[in-house]
Amino acid sequence: MNFIHSAMNNSSNSTAPGQINFNAQQTGRALGDFMLGKVSQFQQQNPTIYYYRQNYIGLYLQDTWKATRRLTVSAGLRWEPFKPMYDADGRALFFSQEAFDKGLRSTVYKNAPAGLLFPGDTGYPYGNSKAIGPSALLHFAPRLGLAWDPHGDGRMAVRAAYGVFFDYPHFYEYSGMLKDPPWGYGVTLTNPGGGFEDPWRGVPGGNPFPAPLTPDIRLTQAGDYLSVPPSLKYPYMNQWNLSIQRGIGADWLVAANYIGNNVIHLTDALQVNPSVYLPGSSCLIGGQTYSPCTSTANVLQRRKLFLQNPTEGQYYGNLIEPYSGGTRNYNAMVLSVQRRRSHGVTVQGNYTFGHCIDDGHPGANLDGRFGGELNERRRFSRGNCDSDRRHNMNMSTVYETPQFSNSTLRMLGTGWQVSGIVRVLSGSWLTISTGVDSLATNGDTIPNLVLSSPYTPDKGIDLYLNPAAFARPATGEYGNFGRSNIQGPGSIRIDMGLTRKFQVREKQTVEFRVEAFNLPNHLNPGNPSTAGLTLTSPTFGKIQTALDERIIQLALKYVF
């Protein structure tokens, strides 16, 4: 068994001075909006302090036995009851839609908006505990492995295994909660009326910072929150593999492997308080007329909770919940060959053909200051994993010159080592953005794909992606082109090395080494930059970086 007590003490001031973002909403160019001071988003918060703690316990039993002379079985079971992290000062909160509907308020922070509950409040799902999230006691993880020698001569092996593995949130995953009002007091203003000159102009009460933490603290409009629901489930992985290894002759070993896994309850950031698109040229919202009904000037007023109850809903901006409905799948064939050192030659090589697909959760940000996915749209984010590489081939060799009998040849030619590494890797996956919010529910910058292929015919460096293949969706509509479905350029790399040690005296040697990286000086283009993946950028579709050119280095080392 094992027991771990974890603690993290941390102070954060990253957005206390204010964080300002510009997009192309006003002028069609982000730089144009910047020059005119047209702020698209302004974020600010109190300095925050983290005092996270967590207790972990794990128990397991395992045994290995010879089922037959040729079959070995290994089996085990692990129990990992999960106790959630907690804040030593009890800084935790929970948003209850039921309490919001009924207009129920906190008794701990009396001026908090309806629906926001804290430890000690009636309806707080974790009672008086300082927990951040629910417990999960029934986490049992079985494992089974088989090893079979078909012929009983040790020349061939067939192996198979299956196991369940649990994972838990790291301390930073829920750190967004400590940026919430009332302690973190984070506020996000979208398209503030005062622009860069005075983002707080027009906000009731003006600039609320600094905001001292007291039981009667008054919260400002559009506060950002992270709330962990009691229904949250924690991720686990089913993992399996099958491999066949065969020795050939005295020196060679070849293997074919199948590797697969799937992750269940992968966490995503779910937006509970989206900004809704309202069609029409004029609308009355919260007693005020807006023309048109939907614009960047009334993001707060179009949020779900504001439309339901303007008096209480005005205090809620982004409201994020971790959602455990995501999945990830990976399947791969791995072929390998190995030649042990014989006659001065060593060879190792492998090739992987694999595919990883998920719901985009590695990029999910569980922080109330950021947008999050809509429940009905989350499957649209399913695409290639950020780390997916469809093809990956590696080959390395080392050759050492023999011990010559001739004294002159032995002095000049013996002991040299020539090594080489070849790597061929397919490109990573990229996501295209329009750079402009289409004003669809919760905001959307996904473009429409209007041609059959997003690439130019030759996938050239000057224009890798075809701008004519994409179009901005109509106002209030979502784009049809998902995430991580543009493949960047692949790479081919050949590295070589030449080394030798010269024995000067009994305890003194001189080592000479020359190494060449990317020996053929092959051009390996990089991916388009973030600007190169944004339709509003003049560099859209262009590749402006490359991996290293040929690099040669020489070294001389004296050992005594």
Structure tokens at 494: 């050949």
* Higher per-residue confidence, 347 vs 129: 347
Q: Output the pLDDT for position 364.
A: 57
Domain boundaries, the chain: 1-327+366-377
pLDDT at 365: 62
CA distance 142 to 147: 17
- Does the structure show a pLDDT above 90 at 179? no
Q: What is the pLDDT averaged over residues 249-274?
A: 93
Q: What kind and span of H or E run contains 306?
A: helix 304-308
Per-residue pLDDT at 128: 78
Tell which residue, 262, 297, 302, has the closest CA to residue 278.
302
Look at residue 261 in the predicted model and tell me its pLDDT. Answer: 97
Please state the rounded mean pLDDT for residues 402-420.
83
pLDDT at 58: 94
- What per-residue confidence (pLDDT) applies to 362? 52
Q: Average pLDDT of 190-198? A: 84
Better-predicted residue by pLDDT, 221 or 74: 74
Length in residues, the chain:
560
Instruction: Please confirm whether the linkage preceding 292 is cis (ω < 30° from 0).
Output: yes
Q: Nearest CA to 512 among 409, 415, 377?
A: 415
**Best CA proximity match to 359, nearest among 488, 266, 235, 239:** 266
DSSP state of 198: -
- Rounded (10°) CA dihedral 78, 82, 85, 89: -130
Mean pLDDT calculated for residue range 247-266: 95
Q: How far apart are CA 420 and CA 518, in angstroms?
A: 11
Q: Which residue did the predictor score with more confidence, 364 or 271?
A: 271
Hey, which residues does 423 pair with through a beta bridge?
A: 394, 493
Token pair 């050119």 in the structure block, residue: 549
- Listed range (1-15, 89-103, 231-245) with the worst mean pLDDT: 1-15
Answer whether residue 415 shows pLDDT above 90: no
Is the pLDDT score of 363 beyond 50? Answer: no
Using pLDDT thresholds of 50, 70 and 90, give the confidence band for residue 187. Answer: confident
Task: Give me the chain's average pLDDT, please.
Answer: 90
Q: Which of 30-39, 486-495, 513-522 has the lowest mean pLDDT?
A: 30-39
User: Quick check: 435 and 23 in contact, CB under 8 A?
Assistant: yes
**E-assigned strands of 466-527?**
470-471, 486-487, 491-505, 508-517
pTM score: 0.82
pLDDT of 513 reads: 94
What average pLDDT does range 539-551 have in this prediction?
95
Q: Look at residues 104, 122, 101 and name the one whose alpha carbon lies nearest to residue 112.
A: 104
- Whether 511 and 417 have beta carbons less than 8 Å apart is answered as no
